[in-house]
Amino acid sequence: MVTKELLKNEIDGISDEYLDMLYRVIKAFKLPMKEMKNQPMTPYQLGKDLFGKYGSGKGNLSQDYKKILKEKLRGKYAH
């Protein structure tokens, strides 16, 4: 027969297991976050995947930047 005391003990056991698991997860993420705070990223590091010949996916940007800019401005301010 299931009693209130038995149910209470079962729930307390599950709660303790859940809290223990949650504590371990938080502890695992705490160290990398602490390391990130000690080594702030520069603006270049944050966007380095977007810069340069390969970041945009277009290999002609450094040679044709004036032409591309003119086309964009003409499209934006067309009369």
pLDDT tens digits for 36-63?
667 777 888 877 777 766 666 777 777 8
Looking at the predicted structure, is the pLDDT value of residue 20 above 80? yes
Q: For tokens 């995947």, name the residue.
A: 49
More confidently predicted of 62 and 71: 71
Q: For tokens 């705070």, name the residue.
A: 37
Find out whether 50 and 56 touch, Cβ atoms under 8 Å: yes
Q: What is the pTM of this model?
A: 0.32
